[in-house]
Structure 1
Amino acid sequence: MPFIDVKNLSVHDPVQQKDLVANITFSLQQQRCLAVIGESGSGKSTVAKALIGLIPSSLEVEGAIMFNGETLTTQTAEQWRGKRIGFISQDAMNAFNPIETIGHQMMETFQRHLGLQGKEGKAHAIAGLERVHLKNPNELLKQYPYELSGGMLQRVMIAITMMLSPDVIIADEPTASLDAYNRREVIMQLQRLKEETGAALIIISHDLGVVQAIADEVLVVHQGEMLEHRPADKVFTSPEHPQTKHLLETRRRLSAPLEALRQQQRVRAFPC
């Protein structure tokens, strides 16, 4: 039985009389990574928000969302968001309260979901920061979000998620605002997170380089509709739908000048 089973997931806007996403269907096993890709405005993030229970009440959600045999649409979001389903936001800075320290926010989360308080909560926070290779965790706990870079904040979110040991992790554009170095670091941490917790990972991304590095399966969305859901290597080597081919070709065209520059730099660094 699949660990995640989503059938005919649709999100409808009754005011505009349109579907934001329609009839999204997929399944996923534990320790597997599904990437949801598509152009801007295709409905990728709407899928993520529907899975985590963050769709505004003004919109209508239909379909079945099953996690480990449980129908989550019959439960309140608070019952399954956090400990059982971890969510890593694309906007790391806005994910934290700017007037509370990193340590306070981490320990508050661990108290709410794990019942850890005081020294236990602090030790759990330090262990999480160490697991994502952030230096001087004791000092970092005293800092405020604005004192950390975007890459560091993203890793703090991953540390919190890792220490909650959720069954499912949903990451919405986790590398969108990061430079190449921090993007690589976050990819490595997400891979570790999946392997160490045994969780199923769903990553929403427009960065096909990230998808190719981490995904086992790819679901392609266009204008709210699912075009194909196949193993990642098949999508990248033999895309079936014309829109998927367009996405891959666009990525190749955009990355070609950068790759040419890298080749020039290699020649200059190591001339024959």
Structure 2
Amino acid sequence: MLEINGLVKKYKDFILNCTMKVERGCITGLVGENGAGKSTTFKAALGLISYDSGDITLMGKEPSELKEEDKSRIGVTLAESGFSGYLKVKDIIPVMSAMYPEFDRSRFESLCRKFGVPQDKYIKEFSTGMKAKLKVLVAVTHSADFLLLDEPTTGLDVMAREGILNLLREYMEEDENRSILISSHISTDLEGLCDDLYLIHEGQIILHEEMDTLLNEYGLIKADDVQYGKLDKEHILSVRRTTYGYDCLTDQRQYYRENYPDIVVENGSLDEVITMMTGGKRL
């Protein structure tokens, strides 16, 4: 659905160098700290910014080759984009109908009621979370084949986030050929949603893994100085010095549990993987 090969975008003090792929029928997560290159990747994929080199293919075409009917099959939420605050939700309905031939007005209005998005209130009066919900509801109600969602749950409370995540699951269940590329700072959102995940750090993709593998095979080893010295480092991805010794990220936690029964090997979490890969020393 989306393929990015050797994408290079140079700024004065930052260089993005990205290769990644979103398979048809999959939800792919893109995570990384602020300024790591997530939004730049999204914008390049959509043809909103130029880039220095590399190839991008979105739904079989380069971004510049996408026609209006192609663009109508893409649902997008970007952090800095949105509707004019001087419009009411009911005012954007005819706009959406004109832009998207398959816009489902009745479903959109139904979802607005379900998620508590008022249709007769100026958007400038919305909270950050309310604006986030509105953008997602627009993205999923015009029969898009592909969603690019940049921080779609920003500003939402726990219950609202779960509602949006369930909505995305329903979107995927409706058509097995759909795909989603999503970024989020809330790792628990992605753990229960994504099929695979890319981690970007300082403009570089430093990890790509299936979510099931991350949760079922990755682990955090906690070793003192003596234990660390005797540790087989072959399956260690990253190391961080601590007050008691070392934290070590591995993608083979069962191996270390079986061969080092006296060492603590905790189940890995997405937060720990991100922290260790971006803040530890990668081996």
TM-score by length of 2: 0.70
Q: Secondary structure at the match of 2:100?
A: helix
One-letter code aligned to 2:194: A
Which segments of 5 or more consecutive residues in structure 2 lack a partner in the other structure?
A: 220-235, 240-247, 250-268, 277-283
The match for 1:169 is 147
The match for 2:203 is 224
Q: Over residues 176-213 of structure 1, what are the superposed CA-to-partner deviations in whole Å (9 max), with x where a residue is unaligned?
A: 22222212122112222232254210001121111101
The match for 1:248 is 271
Structure 1 residues 144 and 218: alpha-carbon distance in aligned structure 2, compared to 1, 3 A threshold: same
Residues 51 and 65 of structure 1 are in contact (CA less than 8 Å); yes or no, is this contact kept in structure 2? yes
Distance 1:154 1:210 in 2: 15
Structure 1 residues 174 and 36: alpha-carbon distance in aligned structure 2, compared to 1, 3 A threshold: same
Residues 208 and 251 of structure 1 are in contact (CA less than 8 Å); yes or no, is this contact kept in structure 2? no
Task: Work out the number of aligned pairs and report it.
Answer: 231
**Larger RCO: 1 or 2 (CA < 8 Å, sep 6+):** 1
Q: Over residues 203-254 of structure 1, what are the superposed CA-to-partner deviations in whole Å (9 max), with x where a residue is unaligned?
A: 011211111011100001111001121201223442774399597338899x
Structure 1 residues 133 and 188: alpha-carbon distance in aligned structure 2, compared to 1, 3 A threshold: farther
Matched ranges for 1:32-181 at <5 A = 32-55=26-49, 60-72=51-63, 74-75=64-65, 80-81=70-71, 83-90=72-79, 95-114=82-101, 124-131=104-111, 134=114, 140-181=118-159
Residues 5 and 65 of structure 1 are in contact (CA less than 8 Å); yes or no, is this contact kept in structure 2? yes
* Identity across the alignment (%): 22
Which segments of 5 or more consecutive residues in structure 1 lack a partner in the other structure?
A: 254-272
Q: Secondary structure at the match of 2:154?
A: coil
* Residues 1:190 and 2:188 are matched in the alignment: no
Greater per-residue strand proportion: 2
Residues 33 and 202 of structure 1 are in contact (CA less than 8 Å); yes or no, is this contact kept in structure 2? yes
Q: Which runs of 4+ in 1 moved over 4 A?
A: 76-80, 243-247, 250-253
Structure 1 residues 252 and 8: alpha-carbon distance in aligned structure 2, compared to 1, 3 A threshold: closer
The structure whose Rg is larger is 2
Distance 1:153 1:126 in 2: 20
Q: Secondary structure at the match of 1:184?
A: helix
TM-score by length of 1: 0.72
Structure 1 residues 141 and 43: alpha-carbon distance in aligned structure 2, compared to 1, 3 A threshold: same
Cα displacement (A) at 1:30: 2.2
Distance 1:67 1:250 in 2: 29
Cα displacement (A) at 1:71: 2.4
